[in-house]
Structure 1
Amino acid sequence: MALESPLLTSTNHSNGVEGGGKEAKSTVKEFGTESKRLWKLAGPAIFTAISQYSLGALTQTFAGLVSEIDLAAVSVENSVIAGLAFGVMLGMGSALETLCGQAYGAGQIRMLGVYMQRSWVILLTTACLLVPIYVWSPPILELIGETTEISEAAGKFAVWMLPQLFAYALNFPIQKFLQAQRKVMVMAWISAIVLVLHAVFSWLFILKLGYGLVGAAITLNTSWWLIIIGQLLYIFITKSDGAWAGFSWLAFADLWGFVKLSLASAVMLCLEFWYLMILVVITGRLPNPLIPVDAISICMNIQGWDAMIALGFNAAISVRVSNELGAGNAKAARFAVWVVSITSVTIGVVCMAVVFATRDVFPYLFTTSDAVAAETTKLAILLGITVLLNSLQPVLSGVAVGAGWQWIVAYINIGCYYIVGLPAGILLGFTFGFGVVGIWSGMIGGICLQTIILIVLTSVTNWNREAEEAETRVKKWGGSAVEH
């Protein structure tokens, strides 16, 4: 017996090691399986987001090749006026990520079309309320510190861009409707075709025919409406596997409750979108602002392209979390969060390295001015850090939308961005005289703090309770009244 004891111990140890090895292999396999699910959603969603963002970014690039004032006009309209509208519309439409995603996970397919129509009613009404901001944008821009020259040019361009505002109102509910059903390849193909057409016609109208800002407005508005038409044709023709059953008067039922959830989503996302938009506005209050505004606009353009990658992951994780919670799979929802976080941060590190490596080159893609290019190169370090932080932060916001935590994150955003980050940026930029570098550095501190809080919030979440709340939410919004 004395001889058997070490053998038994050895055997037990061997079994323990073997068990640990099997567990590790199982985790790796699960990670790989979840990654495949994630990329099936995130890949096309990233491509769609980049393609649609590139419409405005390409317009800005072509405008920059005409003159510095045209670049400033398109940059300020894109980042301030259209940026404000984009944030409101995307935010209001993001209520559908929670409702459509959880209803789809619970098998209540027919409710998705009704939800989308309710969202159209709310967003088209919101678009009408935003029209005065476009019409009176010159005095608004001057009030917040832009020069008269830049404000008047951007204001003129803003009025021409009103059709884009109503395109936003239709587009975002359509996207959330399709994303919840994992029909992301449809959006990717439509966006790719429109982007190619946009590049060709932008070159033709802005540079070749010399229409300048008028040509920019024509091509950008047309491109956005082509996306809407393409997506609607797909939905109306295919019926989206039963999710679209035609127009219904149910679109006007329960509107106030829907508005409240839409507002929560809008506040959460707008506070994020406007934060970096404000960076451009504050920079406009520096002495001799034209070069700093152009430089920061170029950096925001690059950051915006990178943010589209995170926005793709945001959409993917929102769908995964909402679908799994709607189906009652709390453990799967939690695991999906970890997989997407690791993946997104890895990509963020790579993108940061690319920014650092090309800091002397990429400015010349947007400007022919050596002074603007030199200022942009100086800001590249801050751009790289922002790119890294923004690889994780939107993903965690996507988790919040999928789980329905919009109001919680809205309060976090107010505290981190507007009570900490923004005052710190103003203090460093103006009081301590660090200029645009100081403004941006302070605001990065706000992003950093918000990301840390969201990591903690996600880590301590009780996912079983979230699954129960998802079931309650689906019943509350009429899912239980619809046949499977």
Structure 2
Amino acid sequence: MNRTDSESNGNPSFLGTSYRSQRSFLSSTPIAQESILRDLEDEDEREDNEEEDGVAEEADRNGQNNGLPIGQQSEYSMTSSFRRTSHVAYGPRPLFPSAQPPEAYLTQEDRQAALDEERSLLRDNHLIPPKHPRRGSQASGRLIHRVSIPFIPRSKSGAVDEESAVEGEEGEGVGPTEQSPLLSGDPTQPYGGEDTPENINRKWEAAVAAGKIQTTWQREAKVLGRYSRSLILTFILQYSLTMASIFTVGHIGKLELGAVSLAGMTANITGYAVYQGLATSLDTLCAQAYGSGRKHLVGLQLQRMIYFLWIITIPIAIVWASSAQILHAIVPEKDTAVLAGQYLKVLIIGAPGYAAFESGKRYVQAQGKFQATLYVLLICAPLNAFLHWLFVWHFGWGFIGAPISVVIVENLMPVCLFLYVRFCGGMECWGGFTRKALKNWGPMIRLALPGLVMILAEYLAFEILTLSAARISATHLATQSVLSTLSSLTYQIPFPISIAASTRIANLIGATLTDAAKLSAKVAFTAALIVGIFNMVLLSSTRNYIPWLFTNDPDVAELTSKILPLNAAFQLFDALAALANGILRGMGRQEFGSYINLFAYYVIAMPISFGTGFGLHWDLYGLWAGPALALGIVAGVEGWFIYKTSWEKAAEDAKRRNTMG
């Protein structure tokens, strides 16, 4: 029997002894299991001993789940279904609600967050006392309230919060009885001293089983806002990296505006989408490696992906270097193709840095350090805007200054991410450079290819409109650049809200709180409706002013202002479709959303766009009519599906998945 078999069968420290580690490894995909097992087989005896000592030490620290012994977690616990709020889907406008990576593994912060959520819901339902202790004569006030002596007046300072007296200490969700103690807990402590993990889990299990956990519109709105606010900022900052070139170059002329849009589209499809799609395999591999307790395997997977993407950069660089000739064969405007080719040639310098950043982003996300990306963007996004102004306008470099700014920032982002890992956290998963990163690429590549197909499909549907507009005229291409930039920018609000809604609904369904999940979905739909109407009104009312932010060309500005009302109507459907996709992810039914999106965009939208745009000569009106109709279909069909779907069955499916884990 080899080492792997013997340890997995007989050694309780294999892959970490904590409950979360065992659940995570067993619930991983077969490909991820294969990758981890291969890596483990390659370890020598010294490394085995060192790692197992470390795993045993971590098990001592993390071997409890919310205060309960391993394997005795409450069947209704939110810990068993906990999903992080900061998972970020990739691509500027994801059309398909692709599945989020498995997150059965939990860090200490994850478990604490789940415990806090349970405690908060218990408090709001008056099942434990409020957080802040009462002032004044607390003990006497509580005694007076419990025994209900009518002739002893209550002083104002000794008044008892009604929330604190609803539940008895021994009742597990049942009110006080004759056998309940007159005094329990410690009223001077937060939550009356009842917020121990053991007590929270006991009360939570009893309350959920008795149907006592309810939520409110106000609470769900607050949770949705708390979950989504940092995501919105992150998404806007990330998209600003692309938008900076459109803003600065667009004021040079419509030829340059069209060229930067064409170059960006080509870079997305042939380069950035490839990096993002292939790197999605780390969402599984790094996550499962971290959850298995073998943290050094996270750094090993990172090295493999960086090397792999750098090899892929060679054919990408060849395509970008010859892009002027390739684009000229597709786009009638030769000058536009030449400028776009110049832009792409400069981008080659930043490609290795972009590949490293995409891989490093997964490295920190696997450890639950989602704030790392936000901190990097808070530095790089403003710098990106400044460099565009400096090179394009202040130094007078013109069009070529934009890609130079981009490559500087692309190479700076992985450096900033490294500094975060080195000085702020994440080095525990880095085992140093090793030759093992040069082998065992098979599982990584097999996981990467489906992600590549999905990301390319997401990019292609809208980017194909840019290529189509280039065949009409330079003015139409420049206008398409403005319209697509605006629609992508406004999308950075409803899409993060959909991620937040997905997280919240998944957590509630996992805890079998179907009524609360339904209410959360209603709140989220209302928020999406408000955001969609806001974006629609904003673009419609400012249609004569917004174009001048992107260009000084009167023809482009006039055409953009004419088509903006159609683009504005598109916003309402866009927000509702994004939210519907998020709810489907939370319910675990994202495959239905994928089918609907695929059908709506590629079977309905594209033929309509080409037919009306070129067949009926509606030009950009026709090109945008297809996606607008498709989004309306997606929002309507998915909304109807969500309305008809059994939430109780979704909770049963989630419970079965958690049990299998």
The TM tier, using the shorter chain, reads: 0.7 to 0.9
Gaps of 5+ in 1: 1-21, 476-484
2:309 maps to 1:157: no
Partner of 1:66: 252
- 8 Å CA contact retained: 1:268, 1:410: no
- Give the counterpart of 2:484 among 280, 297, 300: 300
The residue that corresponds to 1:366 in the other structure is 550
In structure 1, the partner of 2:449 is: 263
1:27 aligned residue: 216
Residues 1:219 and 1:298: Cα distance change in structure 2 (over 3 Å)? same
Q: CA deviation at 1:121?
A: 4.5
Query: 375-384 or 461-470: which moved more?
Result: 461-470
* One-letter amino acid of the structure 1 residue matched with residue 342 of structure 2: K
Structure 1 residue 75 displacement after superposition: 1.6
In 2, distance between residues paired with 1:99 and 1:399?
26
Alpha-carbon contact 2:217-2:523 (below 8 Å) kept = no
* Per-residue deviation, 1:337: 6.2
> Taking structure 2 as the reference length, what is the TM-score of the superposition?
0.59
Structure 1 residues 230 and 312, CA gap change in structure 2 (3 angstroms): farther
Shift of 1:427: 0.6
**Could you say which residue in structure 1 is the equivalent of 2:563?**
379
> Which of 592, 615, 636 is residue 431 of structure 1 equivalent to?
615
* Distance change >3 Å, CA 137–CA 66, structure 1 → 2: same
Specify the SS of the correspondent of 1:161.
helix
The alignment partner of 2:492 has SS state of: helix
Q: Which residue of 2 aligns with 1:462?
A: 650
How many angstroms does 1:44 deviate by? 2.6
Counterparts in 2 of 1:279 and 1:205: CA distance versus 1, 3 Å: same
Correspondence for 1:133 among 319, 326, 345 = 319
The answer for the alignment partner of 1:145 in structure 2 is: 331
1:394-422 Cα shifts (integer Å, max 9, x gaps): 45556677888787665544422122210
Summarize deviations over 1:130-182 as a string: whole Å, max 9, x none.
33331222233233334222111111211111133333322233334444555
Matching residue of 2:417: 231
Q: Which of 63, 80, 83 does residue 266 from structure 2 map onto? A: 80
**One-letter amino acid matched to 1:378:** K
| Structure 1 CA distance for aligned equivalents of residues 394 and 339 of structure 2 | 21
Within a 5 Å distance, the mapping from 1:285-434 to structure 2 comes to 285-286=471-472, 289-313=473-497, 316=500, 324=507, 329=511, 340-395=524-579, 411-434=595-618
Counterpart Cα distance in 2 of 1:252 and 1:401? 35
- Give the distance between the partners of 1:128 and 1:470, measured in 2 at CA: 43
Between the aligned partners of 1:422 and 1:115, the Cα distance in structure 2 is 38
Shift of 1:188: 2.3
The alpha carbon displacement at 1:340 in A equals 4.8
Deviations 1:180-207 (A, max 9, x none): 5553443223212222222222222111
Residue identity matched to 2:630:
G
Alignment partners' CA distance in 1, 2:553 and 2:592:
44
Decide which moves more: 200-209 or 74-83.
74-83
Q: Distance in 1 between matches of 2:446 and 2:502?
A: 19
Please tell me the residue identity of whatever aligns with 1:34.
Answer: V
Match of 1:168 among 341, 344, 354: 354
Structure number with higher relative contact order (C-alpha < 8 Å, ≥ 6 residues apart): 1
SS in 1 for 2:216: helix
Equivalent residue runs for 1:16-55 within 5 Å: 26-28=215-217, 30-32=219-221, 34-35=223-224, 37-39=226-228, 43-55=229-241
Using the TM superposition, give the Cα deviation of residue 315 of structure 1 relative to its aligned residue in structure 2, in angstroms: 5.5
**Richer in helix (by share):** 1
Cα distance in 1 for partners of 2:380, 2:249 equals: 19
2:385 match: secondary structure: helix
Residue 359 of structure 1, CA deviation: 0.6
Shift of residue 222 of structure 1?
0.5
Distance 1:57 1:94, change over 3 A: same
Secondary structure of residue in 2 paired with 1:434: coil
Say what the alpha-carbon RMSD is for the aligned residues.
Answer: 3.8
What's the CA shift for 1:235?
1.5
Amino acid at match of 1:208: H
- Distance verdict in 2 for CA 1:173–1:399, change over 3 Å: farther
Contact 1:417 1:450 in 2 (8 A): no
Cα distance, 1:216–1:261 mapped onto 2, change above 3 Å = same
1:196 is aligned to 2:385: no
C-alpha displacement of 1:368: 0.8
- What SS class does the counterpart of residue 444 from structure 2 fall into? helix
| Change beyond 3 A, Cα 1:405–1:371 | same
| Conservation of the 8 A alpha-carbon contact between 2:213 and 2:513 | no
**Which stretch of structure 1 is more off in the superposition, 152-161 or 43-52?**
43-52
1:166 alignment partner AA: P
Cα distance in 2 for partners of 1:256, 1:407 equals 26
Deviation string for 1:222-242 (max 9, x for gaps)?
Answer: 112222211121123334284
Instruction: Report the Cα offset of residue 375 of structure 1.
Output: 0.2
One-letter code of the match for 2:232? I
Residue 366 of structure 1 and its aligned partner are, at CA, apart by 0.8
Secondary structure class of the residue paired with 2:238: helix
Tell me: CA distance 1:78–1:416, structure 2 relative to 1, closer, same or farther (3 Å): same
- Read off the aligned partner of 1:35 and give its amino acid letter: L
Distance 2:233 2:428 in 1: 26
Evaluate the alpha carbon distance shift between residue 28 and residue 99 of structure 1 in structure 2; reply closer, same or farther with a 3 A threshold: farther
Q: Say which is worse superposed, 379-388 or 219-228, in terms of deviation.
A: 379-388
| 2:396 is the counterpart of 1:210 | yes
**Deviation for aligned residue 1:71:** 1.7
Distance of 1:230 and 1:350 partners within structure 2: 35
Greater mean alpha carbon deviation, residues 138-147 or residues 371-380: 138-147
Contact 1:82 / 1:165 at 8 angstroms: preserved in 2? no
Identity level (%): 23
SS state of the match for residue 252, structure 2?
coil
Q: 1:195 to 1:359 in 2, by over 3 A?
A: same
* CA shift in 2, pair 1:133/1:387, >3 Å: farther
Distance 2:565 2:240 in 1: 23
Flag the 1:455–1:132 CA change in 2: closer, same or farther, 3 A: farther
Decide whether aligned partners of structure 1 residues 450 and 68 sit closer, same or farther in structure 2, where only a CA change above 3 A counts: same
- Of the structure 1 ranges 89-98 and 291-300, higher mean CA displacement relative to structure 2 is found in 89-98
CA distance in 1, matches of 2:350, 2:494: 23
1:106-130 per-residue CA deviation (whole Å, 9 max, x = no partner) reads: 7868365555445434444443343
> Does the 8 Å CA contact 1:314/1:395 hold for their aligned counterparts?
yes
Question: 2:202 — aligned with what?
Answer: none
Q: Classify 1:137/1:201 alpha carbon distance in 2 versus 1 (closer, same or farther; 3 Å).
A: same
Partner amino acid, structure 2, of 1:355: L
**Which letter maps to 2:224?**
S
Farther off after superposition, 249-258 or 72-81: 249-258
For 2:611, the aligned partner's letter is L
